[in-house]
Structure 1
Amino acid sequence: MLSSAWKYVPGNEYCVKVTDGTHDSPKQAECGKPLITSKHIKGDVIDFDTAYLISEHDFNEINKRSKVDQWDVIISMIGAYCGFCFIESNEEIEYAVKNVGLFKAGTEVNAKWLYYYLNSPIGRAHLDAVKSGSTQPYIALGALRNLPILVPKEDDVKEKIVAILDAIDTKIRVNNRINAELEAMAKTLYDYWFVQFDFPDDSPQGQGKPYKSSGGEMVYNPTLKREIPEGWDDASLVDIATFTNGIACQKYYPTGDEPTYKVIKIREFSSGFDDSSESVHQGVPEKVVVNDGDILFSWSATLEVKLWAGGTGALNQHIFKVTSESYPKTFYYFEVLKYLEYFKMVAELRKTTMGHITKDHLVTSRICLPPKDLIKAMDAKLSPILSKIISNSQQNAELEKLRDWLLPMLMNGQVTVGEAS
């Protein structure tokens, strides 16, 4: 039950304008400005790497309903990410949207409040209620314009709540930046050793110097069609790791009060669990139970590799759990990650509705295989970095729970702004 200090207003009354972007289809350009569609909105990030580029001329021709400004709130209107929101905080941005919900909130406070509300259990429930379509969910523009937006009757209350929630999000963003830097540092070191082949050469001749750049012996490998360090071999991804597909979870739905796991589908893979995540009883096969620190590979639709830190769950179809009894996690994680661009190219060439690869592509993959003692030495350097990334991600998960718990408690009057502060 909501507190009497709150009220609902429709989206087009709360915002300066609510649109769905351009309806035109400008030609793709080799360089230019990004044109974002619903599939590029993945949780609280936008995937600009795969965005459709349009020329400067076409970008300038697109009317104002399509251009994104600072403090606009963007929402995916169709597909697997339907209902996902992103808030644009960057002042120097130049991109447009096509068939994407665009809430022009007008001010920073209004935008942040709208973003927090749409990501709250109450806001998500209203979004779910206006979704249509059974196989491909979508939200109509009219539904967004009439979407009930819950706001406090006193503006200063809204500002204080936004400040509290923003403080939590600031810490989350700091952790995310640290993780991005740690990931980049780990990848740089991995590439230096196992891509550029400048690992420390501990042989009497090498005396710890970088192997390749110090004249280490390179030999041609006919399978890889390139030179690799002497003593190295080639292998496939299935030679170094086991790729266990998730299961169809319908037959494991709970029927009573038995203990459950939440299900990791493509949506959860990208943004973690929420109240709408499905559950299964804990009788699912152990091989599809996922814990923090496991490596997941979504082989359909998104084609991404992730170091999971979202809590224990059960893996749905379209996602591999990657494990190995012979090689450390740091090795097969970065090898699959390194192969990802090739897999994306394969999926694009196959021109499937939802880009995906098969296990045959894993079998036919070819990678460079270093000696195990070198892999072990690399693991000693990378394992602490991955552990810190997991720790930061777990802290973020707790902060997100606090944020998501706090907002409805404020809305129903169980917590006041003063208590929250």
Structure 2
Amino acid sequence: MKLADIAAYVTDRISSSEISLFEYVTTDSLLQNKRGRDIAQNLPPVPCSLTKYHKGDVLVSNIRPYLKKVWLADTDGGCSNDVLVFRAMEDHSHNFLYAVLLNDSFFEYAMQGAKGSKMPRGDKDQIMRYEIPTFSLSEENVGKLVVDIMAKINLNRQINDNLEAMAKQLYDYWFVQFDFPNEEGKPYKASGGAMVWNEKLKREIPQEWSNCKLKEFINLFDSKRVPLSSKDRGERQGVYPYYGATGIMDYVNDYIFDGDYILLAEDGSTSDAKGLPIVQYIWGKNWVNNHAHIILPKNERYMMFTYQMLRSIPAKQIETGSIQKKISQENLCGYKMVLPNSDLLEKYENVVSPLWEKRKRCIEEINSLTKQRDELLPLLMNGQASVNYHLSAC
């Protein structure tokens, strides 16, 4: 059985002027590694024709298939022409179609026929010849199981988004707006708390606060970094995440660090769309290459404050280079930061740390479910695994 036997490309059209931003999907708004989609940045400035998709269609980015961008539509809308829209044929399950297109083997197959070197695009005719193994399980049972796993993964991601937003909101409220609780439990600055001019920071700060250079607040462990080439990593495949400037690049068979650390991108992609540094919070056994600074606060009780503070630094204040951006140790360590009093730092950590532990558990569960999904899919497809009645009735 081939993909063309269960699905067809959608060719219906709709004008961008007829949809909302929430309903607009581009290759950029589809997320890598099967993570669904995010809201697009903006609608086309001039009304244009888009592919019209419906709830239940499966959208796949046709640019650089190896990025594994796929989304099961939960609404109607329109998408750019570099997004392929698949619709399950009558008597076939859209959930099953989604399960088929989630397989790593599908993206590997699409790359085999892709054309172009810098921006490879899948061949639409070749894609429809993708072979689906014949198996005895019902399409709906397979599809429902996969969709249920994805629903739990997405729920955990939503929980984490909320937990991170809460930690960030409290940081901004206390350490940016200076409305931390005063002795009466009221917002400090809004209630008339004393503010003084700090000459080194060139701004007003709460009376009992101070300032310092970042090097006085953090320790760097950059000297322990070890880069591995793609060839080296290929020969050392394992279970330990190998981190680069923006995230996990691979998994290797050994580790350098063990514990909680903060990474800040050193070069390449050093800042996000908001002009803030790319900062990662990592834990457990891992390996880090030489494109990310490795940071701990000198007082390790202040991990959450340090993470949020680093994420709030305007990147242009510590970056160098116009085309190839870099954040050097010297610029990073020389950044002048506001230094709150220790009591407030302790209070922030006491509030936020439990939220962060919950976030870490959610991420670990996401990783476990993702691994199970990717290992289970091919087994279901080739008949080596089945769905028992508990799961099929779920």
Q: How does 1:15-414 map to 2 (within 5 A)?
A: 15-17=7-9, 36-38=26-28, 41-43=31-33, 44-48=35-39, 51=41, 53-55=43-45, 58-59=46-47, 61-62=48-49, 64-65=50-51, 67=52, 69-78=54-63, 82-91=66-75, 93=77, 96-97=79-80, 100-106=82-88, 110-130=93-113, 136=118, 138-142=120-124, 145-146=127-128, 148-150=130-132, 152=134, 157-202=138-183, 207-242=184-219, 247-250=226-229, 253=232, 261-265=240-244, 269=247, 278-282=250-254, 286=256, 289=257, 293-299=260-266, 300-301=268-269, 303=272, 304-308=278-282, 312-327=285-300, 328-339=302-313, 342-343=314-315, 352=323, 356-359=325-328, 361-363=331-333, 365-414=335-384
Say which SS state the counterpart of residue 42 (structure 1) adopts: coil
**Matching residue's letter, 2:281:** L
- The offset of 1:228, in angstroms, is 0.9
Distance 1:101 1:216 in 2: 54
Change (3 A) 1:252 1:87: closer
Change (3 A) 1:78 1:376: same
Contact 2:209–2:339 (CA under 8 A) maintained in structure 1: yes
Say which SS state the counterpart of residue 139 (structure 1) adopts: coil
Distance 2:315 2:24 in 1: 23
Say which SS state the counterpart of residue 74 (structure 1) adopts: strand
Gapped runs of 5+ residues in structure 1? 1-6
TM-score, scaled relative to structure 1: 0.72
Change (3 A) 1:42 1:280: closer
Structure 1 residues 263-301: Cα deviation after superposition (integer angstroms, max 9, x where no partner)? 23468x2xx6xxxx644442x6x3xx365x543344533
Change (3 A) 1:221 1:137: same
Distance 2:308 2:199 in 1: 23
Say which SS state the counterpart of residue 16 (structure 1) adopts: strand
Contact 1:71–1:88 (CA under 8 A) maintained in structure 2: yes
Distance 2:168 2:188 in 1: 18
Distance 2:61 2:177 in 1: 40
Q: What is the identity percentage for the equivalent residue pairs of Structure 1 and Structure 2?
A: 25
**Matching residue's letter, 1:41:** L
Q: CA RMSD in A?
A: 4.0
**Matching residue's letter, 2:181:** P
Gapped runs of 5+ residues in structure 2? 273-277
**Matching residue's letter, 1:140:** G
Distance 1:258 1:47 in 2: 31
- The offset of 1:402, in angstroms, is 2.1
- The offset of 1:410, in angstroms, is 1.2
83-92 or 182-191, which deviates more = 83-92
Change (3 A) 1:256 1:96: closer
- The offset of 1:345, in angstroms, is 9.9
Distance 1:145 1:259 in 2: 31
- The offset of 1:413, in angstroms, is 1.7
Change (3 A) 1:239 1:151: farther
TM-score, scaled relative to structure 2: 0.76
- The offset of 1:242, in angstroms, is 4.1
Distance 2:116 2:221 in 1: 31
**Matching residue's letter, 1:230:** Q
Distance 2:169 2:297 in 1: 23
| 2:275 matched residue in structure 1 | none
**Matching residue's letter, 1:358:** I
Change (3 A) 1:256 1:196: closer
Distance 2:145 2:377 in 1: 10
Distance 2:165 2:234 in 1: 45
Contact 1:39–1:76 (CA under 8 A) maintained in structure 2: no
